[in-house]
Amino acid sequence: MLQALCVGLIAGVVVGFFRYGIGKTEAFWLDLFKKSHQNPLWFIVIVAGLALTGIIAGYFVKQYPHVGGSGIPEVKLQMQGKLTLQWWPILWRKLIGGIMVIGTGLFLGPEGPSLQLGSTIGQGVGQGFKQTKTNSRVLLATGAASGLSAAFGAPLSGALFVLEEIFHNFSPRVWMNALVGAIASNFVVSNLFGQKPALALAYNHSFPMPLYWHLVLLGLILGLLGHLYKLGLFNLKSFMQKSLLFRAGYTD
């Protein structure tokens, strides 16, 4: 339990810095776009900056392919014992690359990268304390929950997500460690960013009870659209890997 607390605190600091870096990078790019409206020459700087960001991110992915994407599939495979990764090379590349890429406004959220950042911290703590394979998996799950909690300020959701999507089994031991780590990381991030949620939605009136069936219908529609979106992403990735431009970019 003490190691889970350690994982949560470190994950809170790392993911807190991750969120802070994304915010600062977004502000930097927004400032450049504002300047470009006054002086079109700033568009040259924007294009050059985006190209440099793409080159650096591509270099990171070429060195360690598992740095790319959300990172959730990699964590799942690690939990299943089907994938072995070095935690430190993934950690710093995911941290720097994620800030650079997400900060430019590309279609990638912080939840997946934050989860993978947390899992690498859990893996690192497990290796540092020379834990057994089983204990290392628990710390890996704890780190994933801590990272997700730090990303959204939602410790319960972080712990439950790990049990449902990563661990695929309700284990009291995993649940308690994940919850301790998630609460610890949320404590750190709350002190850095305040109690305001990551996604603040103003809602000042109650939803009428007779209209609740609309929410069920909305959930079904969004579930279907989410599934179609997921299929589209998987097919697009397969198409890109078969394309000539993709293969040319990875040819030495």
User: What is the tens place of the pLDDT at every residue in 22-79?
Assistant: 989 999 999 998 988 888 888 899 999 989 988 998 899 888 888 888 888 888 888 8
Query: What pLDDT digit, counting tens, does each position of 195-243 carry?
Result: 666 556 666 777 788 888 999 999 999 999 999 988 887 787 677 666 6
Structural domains in the chain (count): 2
pLDDT at 166: 76
Distance, in Å, from the CA atom of 201 to the CA atom of 204, rounded to the nearest integer, reads: 10
Question: What single-letter amino acid sits at 32?
Answer: L
Given a cut of 90, is residue 118 above it in pLDDT?
Answer: yes
- What 14-17 contacts at long range (C-beta under 8 Å, 24+ apart), as own/partner pairs, is 14/91, 14/95, 14/117, 14/118, 14/121, 14/147, 15/114, 15/117, 15/118, 15/146, 15/147, 15/150, 15/151, 15/185, 15/189, 16/150, 16/188, 16/189, 16/192, 16/193, 17/95
Average pLDDT over residues 183-198: 80
Q: What is the CATH number of the domain that holds 34?
A: 1.10.3080.10
If asked whether residues 49 and 135 sit together in one domain, one would say yes
User: Residue 180 corresponds to which tokens in the numbers above?
Assistant: 């301790």
If asked whether residues 131 and 239 sit together in one domain, one would say no
If asked whether residues 218 and 194 sit together in one domain, one would say no
Confidence of residue 247 (pLDDT cuts 50, 70, 90): low
If asked whether residues 51 and 162 sit together in one domain, one would say yes
3-state SS, residue 31:
helix
If asked whether residues 98 and 181 sit together in one domain, one would say yes
Distance, in Å, from the CA atom of 60 to the CA atom of 66, rounded to the nearest integer, reads: 9
If asked whether residues 91 and 129 sit together in one domain, one would say yes
Domain that holds residue 46: 2-204
Confidence of residue 119 (pLDDT cuts 50, 70, 90): very high
Q: DSSP readout, 225-236?
A: HHHHHHHHHHHH
Distance, in Å, from the CA atom of 152 to the CA atom of 28, rounded to the nearest integer, reads: 22
Is the distance from CB of 200 to CB of 153 less than 8 angstroms?
Answer: no
If asked whether residues 105 and 211 sit together in one domain, one would say no
Indicate the pTM of the whole model: 0.79
If asked whether residues 16 and 137 sit together in one domain, one would say yes
If asked whether residues 120 and 223 sit together in one domain, one would say no
If asked whether residues 177 and 220 sit together in one domain, one would say no
If asked whether residues 152 and 57 sit together in one domain, one would say yes
Confidence of residue 112 (pLDDT cuts 50, 70, 90): confident
Average pLDDT over residues 164-190: 86
What share of the chain has pLDDT > 70, as a percent?
Answer: 90
If asked whether residues 78 and 104 sit together in one domain, one would say yes
